[in-house]
Amino acid sequence: MSVIINLERCTGCGQCLDACPFGLLYLLDGRLMVDDGCTLCGACVEVCEYGALSLPATEAGSSEVYRPHGGIWIFAEQRGGRMAPVSLELLGEARRLAARMQVPVAAVLFGHQVQELTAGLIAGGADKVYLVDHPRLADFVEEPYAAALTALARREQPEIILAGATYLGRAFIPRVAALLDTGLTADCTAFDLETETNLLLQTRPAFGGNIMATILTPRSYPQMATVRPRVMKKLALQSDREGTVIPVRLEELEQPFRSRFLETVSEITEAIPLGEAEVIVAGGRGLQDGKNFQLLEELADLLGGAVGATRAAVDAGWISYQHQIGQTGKTVAPRLYFACGISGAAQHLVGMQSSDFIVAINSDPQAPIFQIADIGLVGDMFEIIPALIQQIKASR
């Protein structure tokens, strides 16, 4: 079944071509044609000004709008054969949504000789894994990655695609959304489903983080969103979970691309990467000087943690950007987070409020950081932190 074209009414204006999320409509000698795979989503019907397109009546006799049937997909990001933690976090969230939507969860894995990663994805919550194993996908390059995901989505028609808001996801997912002619909500912090329609409610900070906006993609499919690492919770791995691995061959990868991979250059080395640290000691403008970060480093070293910072501290040139936590920095969720001389601006909170336990040290009892802290210490950090360091040393 596909959309019904009334050729007497169709003027061949081509407006509907752009509306089809899967690019299935085309003009042949001025006549509108539709390829196999129409999902009856109705997007083309809505844009046709001439009433030339309609949906076939359902059994009940109504013209209910159909939705893609490919379930929820997550893009399983790997580099050098190492799975990015965000992939499992996305799977955890996809499973939660899928339970309510009653649809399967699929992971899409790109790379070369990465078959062994499929088991981890199934254990982490995937019902199926689309495995596109190709030398062109061995290293990340936007064009082939975008071409492959677009082709696969056109073929299998997922209802939702979630990907990590990582360097990689940010680089190619917008391109996929554009090729599929659908919307994309970047950097989501929460998802829900609209009660009546089951459409994905995509929440993200807006207007500099001062409000949370919830965005819907009601007329185009797939509904696409990216999520920052460490925002969603992964599930406990279940090694006996069953799932299917579907090897996929894509002709689209055989075409010439304009860019090619040359080499990876590692520039930044962190002793403990912020994203993986279990303890973070973060400092803000209250530190008053860059050299005072030494105090935080000492506490972090004692606790086996890493040092973070607010944008104010980074902008002051006290510490490098790689330490910045927040809306325009990293998102972290350690087990223990020390906020030292940090007021608690919304743009900072969005990057650290999922931490398990938050200790705030601030001389201002009204500082907003205390509203989310598990323990608040009101006082001068230059007295409190040295005392804390001394106590920890003494207790050892």
Ligand X SMILES: Cc1cc2nc3c(=O)[nH]c(=O)nc-3n(C[C@H](O)[C@H](O)[C@H](O)COP(=O)(O)OP(=O)(O)OC[C@H]3O[C@@H](n4cnc5c(N)ncnc54)[C@H](O)[C@@H]3O)c2cc1C
Binding site for ligand X (CB under 6 A): 208, 284-286, 310-313, 324-329, 341-343, 345, 347-348, 351, 361-364, 367, 380-382
Q: What are the φ/ψ torsions at residue 59 (nearest 5 degrees)?
A: -60, -35
Q: Name the residue nearer to ligand X (CB basis): 52 or 349.
A: 349
CA within 13 Å, CB half, 81 = 5
For the CB of residue 317, give the shortest distance to ligand X in the complex, in Å. 13
Shortest spacing between CB 387 and ligand X, in angstroms:
13
First to last CA, the chain: 72
Quick one: 166 or 324, whose CB is closer to ligand X?
Answer: 324
The CA distance from 307 to 356, in Å, is: 17
Q: Tokens standing for 163?
A: 């990907």
CA–CA gap between residue 35 and residue 21 (Å, rounded): 13
| Residue 326 phi, psi (nearest 5) | 140, -165
Residues 6+ apart with CB under 8 A from 86: 77, 164, 166, 169, 227, 228, 229, 230
Question: At its nearest, how many Å lie between ligand X and the CB of residue 367?
Answer: 4
Q: Considering beta carbons, is residue 193 or 372 the nearer one to ligand X?
A: 372
The annotation places the binding site for FAD at 285, 310-311, 324-328, 341-348, 362
- CB of residue 286 to ligand X, shortest distance in Å: 3
Nearer to ligand X, 326 or 376 (CB): 326
Residues whose CB falls within 8 Å of the CB of residue 152, separated by 6 or more in sequence, listed in order: 108, 130, 132, 248, 250
Query: Cα separations (Å) of 317 from 284, 310, 393?
Result: 12, 11, 30
Query: Between 295 and 303, whose beta carbon lies closer to ligand X?
Result: 295
Least distance from ligand X to the Cβ atom of residue 251, Å: 42
Continuous segment of H or E residues that includes residue 202:
strand 200-206
Measured between alpha carbons, how far is 223 from 202 in angstroms, rounded to an integer?
Answer: 9
Would you mind telling me the total number of residues written for the chain in this entry?
396
CA atoms within 13 A on the CB side of 351: 24
The answer to whether the beta carbons of residues 329 and 307 sit under 8 Å apart is: no
Shortest Cβ distance from residue 297 to ligand X (Å)?
A: 17
Residue whose entry in the numeric block shows the structure tokens 């062109």 = 136
Q: Which helix (H) or strand (E) holds 297?
A: helix 293-303
| CA–CA distance, 5 with 80 (Å, rounded to integer) | 48
Other C-beta atoms closer than 10 Å to the C-beta of 122 total: 22
Task: Return the number of the residue (157 or 327) whose C-beta is nearest ligand X.
Answer: 327
The least CB distance from residue 273 to ligand X, in Å, is 17
State in angstroms the smallest separation of the CB of 56 from ligand X: 48
Burial class (CB in 10 A: 0-12, 13-18, 19+), 23: middle
**Cα-flanking dihedrals φ and ψ of residue 204, to 5°?**
-150, 155
For the bound state, the minimum distance from the C-beta of residue 313 to ligand X, rounded and expressed in Å, comes to 6
Give the residue with the Cβ less far from ligand X, 11 or 320: 320
